[in-house]
Structure 1
Amino acid sequence: MCVECGFARRARCYGGHILIRGPVVQCDVGAPGVVRFASSRRRQSESCWMDMEALLSAARTHHREGRLDAAEMLYREVIEACPTHSATCVNLARLLMRRGGFEDAIRWLKWAAEYAPGDVETYRFLGLAYASSKQHARALDAFCKILEHAPDDIATLQIVANLQQELGLTDEAHDTFRRLHRLQPVFPIAASRNPPDFRVLMLFAPGAGNTPFEFLISGASFETMILSVVSGTEHDFERLGGMTDVVVNLVSDVDLGETALPNAAHIAERIGRPVVNHPDRIVPTDRESIARRLDGIAGCIVPRVRRVSTDGLRAARTASSVADVRFPCLVRPTGKHGGKDFYKVLDAQHLEGVLRHTDAPNYYVTQFVDYRSPDGYFRKYRFLFVDGEVLPYHLAIGNAWKVHHATTDMADHAWMRDEERAFLADPRHVFDDAQLGALREIQARIGLDYFGVDCGIDREGRVVVFEVNASMLVHGQNAEFPYKHEAVERIRLAFHAMLERKAVRTRAA
Structure 2
Amino acid sequence: MQSEVSHPLGLSAPQVADRIGFARLTHQAFVGVDLRPLRDQLVGKIANGTAQAGEGLDLSLIAQLLGDKEAGLAIQAEVLAFHQLFRSPCAVAKPALRVLALAAAIDMGGNTPIEFLLESSDIELLTLYVVKGVGLPEPLPDHDVAIVVASDSEECREALAAIDDVASRWPRPLLNHPDRIANLDRDKLHRLLAGTAGLDIPATVCATRAQLSDLSQARIRCEDITSELHFPMIVRPRGTHAGVGLAKVDGAAALADYLAARQEQDFFVARFVDYSSADGLFRKYRLAIVDGRPYACHMAIADRWDIWYLNAYMAFSEEKRAEEAVFMRDFDAAFASRHRAALDEMIARVGLDYFTIDCAENRCGELLIFEADNTAVVHNMDSPDVFPYKQPQMRKIFAAFTTMLSRHAKVDRSVA
Q: Which position in structure 2 is the counterpart of 1:491? A: 397
Over 3 Å counting, the alpha-carbon distance change for 1:342 and 1:487 in structure 2 is same
CA–CA distance in 2 between the matches of 1:505 and 1:235? Answer: 25
CA–CA distance in 1 between the matches of 2:45 and 2:349? Answer: 49
Matches within 5 A, 1:402-417: 402-417=306-321
Kept after mapping to 2: 8 A contact 1:299/1:434: no
CA–CA distance in 2 between the matches of 1:234 and 1:413? Answer: 48
Kept after mapping to 2: 8 A contact 1:210/1:253: no
1:466 corresponds to which of 340, 361, 370: 370
CA–CA distance in 2 between the matches of 1:342 and 1:407? Answer: 14
Deviation for aligned residue 1:171: 8.8
2:139 corresponds to which of 238, 255, 275: 238
Kept after mapping to 1: 8 A contact 2:234/2:271: yes
Aligned to 1:257, the other structure's residue is in SS state: helix
1:437 corresponds to which of 341, 349, 356: 341
Deviation for aligned residue 1:267: 5.6
Kept after mapping to 2: 8 A contact 1:301/1:465: yes
Q: Which position in structure 1 is the counterpart of 2:203? A: 304
Q: Which position in structure 2 is the counterpart of 1:326? A: 230
Deviation for aligned residue 1:365: 0.8
Q: Which position in structure 2 is the counterpart of 1:360? A: 264
Moved more, 161-170 or 366-375: 161-170
Deviation for aligned residue 1:305: 0.9
Structure 1 residue 125 and structure 2 residue 31: aligned? Answer: no
Q: Which position in structure 2 is the counterpart of 1:272? A: 171
Over 3 Å counting, the alpha-carbon distance change for 1:166 and 1:247 in structure 2 is farther
Q: Which position in structure 2 is the counterpart of 1:25? A: none
Q: Which position in structure 2 is the counterpart of 1:179? A: 81
Q: Which has the higher contact order (CA 8 A, sep 6+)?
A: 2
Q: Which position in structure 1 is the counterpart of 2:12? A: none
Kept after mapping to 2: 8 A contact 1:204/1:250: yes
Aligned to 2:37, the other structure's residue is in SS state: helix
Kept after mapping to 1: 8 A contact 2:39/2:59: no
Aligned to 2:117, the other structure's residue is in SS state: coil
Identity %: 33
1:455 corresponds to which of 315, 336, 359: 359
Aligned to 2:128, the other structure's residue is in SS state: strand
Matches within 5 A, 1:73-472: 125=37, 127=39, 146-150=45-49, 152-159=51-58, 161-162=60-61, 163=63, 167-168=69-70, 172=74, 175-181=77-83, 185-207=84-106, 209-233=110-134, 235-240=136-141, 243-266=142-165, 268-319=167-218, 320-321=221-222, 323-324=225-226, 325-427=229-331, 430-431=334-335, 433-472=337-376
Over 3 Å counting, the alpha-carbon distance change for 1:338 and 1:268 in structure 2 is same
Structure 2 letter corresponding to 1:485: Q
Structure 1 unaligned blocks of 5 or more: 1-96, 106-123, 129-141
Deviation for aligned residue 1:169: 6.6
TM-score (norm 1): 0.67
Moved more, 285-294 or 155-164: 155-164
Kept after mapping to 2: 8 A contact 1:255/1:286: no
**Per-residue CA shift, 1:154-173, capped at 9, x if unaligned?**
24422455549954479945
Aligned to 2:92, the other structure's residue is in SS state: coil
CA–CA distance in 1 between the matches of 2:250 and 2:31? Answer: 44
Deviation for aligned residue 1:125: 2.0
Over 3 Å counting, the alpha-carbon distance change for 1:357 and 1:144 in structure 2 is farther
**Per-residue CA shift, 1:57-111, capped at 9, x if unaligned?**
xxxxxxxxxxxxxxxxxxxxxxxxxxxxxxxxxxxxxxxx999696xx9xxxxxx
CA–CA distance in 2 between the matches of 1:451 and 1:224? Answer: 18
What is the total number of aligned residue pairs between the two structures? 375
**Per-residue CA shift, 1:297-322, capped at 9, x if unaligned?**
11221112101233333332223427
CA–CA distance in 1 between the matches of 2:263 and 2:75? Answer: 22
Over 3 Å counting, the alpha-carbon distance change for 1:407 and 1:171 in structure 2 is closer
Moved more, 160-169 or 348-357: 160-169
Over 3 Å counting, the alpha-carbon distance change for 1:446 and 1:314 in structure 2 is same
CA–CA distance in 2 between the matches of 1:99 and 1:492? Answer: 21
Over 3 Å counting, the alpha-carbon distance change for 1:444 and 1:271 in structure 2 is closer
Deviation for aligned residue 1:216: 0.5
CA–CA distance in 2 between the matches of 1:494 and 1:171? Answer: 33
Deviation for aligned residue 1:199: 0.9
Over 3 Å counting, the alpha-carbon distance change for 1:249 and 1:432 in structure 2 is closer
CA–CA distance in 1 between the matches of 2:162 and 2:382? Answer: 36
Larger Rg: 1
Larger fraction in helix: 1
Over 3 Å counting, the alpha-carbon distance change for 1:318 and 1:198 in structure 2 is same
Over 3 Å counting, the alpha-carbon distance change for 1:144 and 1:506 in structure 2 is same
CA–CA distance in 1 between the matches of 2:82 and 2:388? Answer: 39
Larger fraction in strand: 2
Aligned to 1:214, the other structure's residue is in SS state: helix
Aligned to 2:155, the other structure's residue is in SS state: coil
Over 3 Å counting, the alpha-carbon distance change for 1:234 and 1:338 in structure 2 is closer
CA–CA distance in 2 between the matches of 1:99 and 1:450? Answer: 27
Kept after mapping to 2: 8 A contact 1:178/1:233: no
Moved more, 244-253 or 329-338: 329-338
